[in-house]
Amino acid sequence: MKVAADPDPSLVSQPDMEPEAAKDKDSFRNYTSGPLLDRVFATYKLMHTWQTVDFVRRKHAQFGGFSYKRMTVMEAVDMLDGLVDESDPDVDFPNSFHAFQTAEGIRKAHPDKDWFHLVGLLHDLGKVLALAGEPQWAVVGDTFPVGCRPQASVVFRDCTFQDNPDLQDPLYSTELGMYQPHCGLENVLMSWGHDEYMYRMMKFNKFALPPEAFYIIRFHSFYPWHKFGDYQQLCNEQDLAMLPWVQEFKYGHSHGRAWGRGSGGFTGQYGHGHGHAWGGGDSGGFMAAIPVLQQVRPLHQELQPARRGRAEALLPRAR
């Protein structure tokens, strides 16, 4: 099932974007055709069958102590050399390239926000779970709330949830499920994967990043919410205020991918130098607090004038 989306209007404010790159970007997230579709569908079928309330709670307990391995950020990035994301219909190369692509895409859009570049580098590091024996359906792919009925924009929703036991439950199969209206996403149990793991690991280790960074890490794969506007019944005012930051992250994420494998300066001296400054070395990495480089203002104040119209359009209207 594919939901059509209008071309990204922010392309007009990127004069250095090559036309061919913009064209390639528009073809991303094609879940109806392509050489990788069978692999992608099989991953989502397993995910949508076995991601349940009970499964997610067990994973929180299993990994909540963060005692499996100690490593630096750059060691984790290097580990992703051995991972190809089986849920991704667009790429068939190691995830480490994607980490640098994303950081570079955000750096081009926001050159003055080092903390934002860092989020681009960190966002998928939770995928190391797949290299520690976890199945990819429990690590990668789009996320969604468990404990309530999946909404229309969830990838392959109409043909992959038939065997999920939660949807036979009279409570979990309703629109609100086990939640109260507008309870806030912080109180929602998300499907288990690299986003939730990385978010919880950063909180456990007290990463000194702004709240926007934690929000982006946790919800960057929640496409039904930040791209298609579903699950509004669960959102509170904080969620709606943070939404433009998640959407702006996805802008840099997709544009970094459009520049292609190995493109941009982040894979060279810039990437490795800043990676170690942000947490590399024997005493840093995942176990270190990372300094906050600046106070974060609302997104529509942060952007250059040419981009403010897009950001303001993303801000929710009062209900």
- pLDDT at residue 84, as a whole number: 83
User: Annotation-wise, does 127 bind a ligand?
Assistant: yes
Assign 226 a pLDDT band (cuts: 50, 70, 90): very high
- Whether the pLDDT of residue 37 is over 70: the answer is yes
Structure tokens at 209: 């990043």
Known binder of ligand: residue 86? yes
Q: Is 182 annotated as a binding residue?
A: no
Is position 194 annotated in a ligand binding site?
yes
pLDDT at 56 over 50: yes
Does 220 carry a binding-site annotation? yes
Q: What is the three-class DSSP state of 190?
A: strand
CA-to-CA separations, 228 to 43, 63, 200, 224, 231, in angstroms, rounded: 22, 30, 25, 5, 9
Question: Is 262 annotated for ligand binding?
Answer: no
16: pLDDT strictly greater than 80: no
Task: Place 91 in a pLDDT band, splitting at 50, 70 and 90.
Answer: low
What pLDDT, on a 0 to 100 scale, did the predictor assign at position 293? 35
Instruction: Identify the pLDDT of residue 4.
Output: 35
Is residue 117 a known part of a binding site?
Answer: no
Mean pLDDT score, 296-301: 51
pLDDT digits (tens, 9 = 90+) for 121-131: 999 999 999 99
Amino acid 98: pLDDT: 85
85 is in an annotated binding site: yes
What's the Cα-to-Cα distance from 168 to each of 149, 171, 263, rounded to whole Å?
10, 9, 47
Give yes or no for residue 271 having a pLDDT over 50: no
- Does the annotation flag 87 for ligand binding? yes
Return the pLDDT at 317.
Answer: 41
Confidence of residue 254 (pLDDT cuts 50, 70, 90): low
167-182: average pLDDT: 97
141 is in an annotated binding site: yes
| pLDDT tens string 199-224 | 999 999 999 899 999 999 999 999 99
27 labeled part of a ligand binding site: no
**What is the pTM assigned to this prediction?**
0.76
User: Nearest to residue 247, comparing CAs of 318, 312, 152?
Assistant: 312
**pLDDT confidence tier of residue 302, bands split at 50, 70 and 90:** low
Minimum mean pLDDT range among 31-45, 54-68, 157-171:
31-45
Cβ atoms of 191 and 146 closer than 8 Å = yes
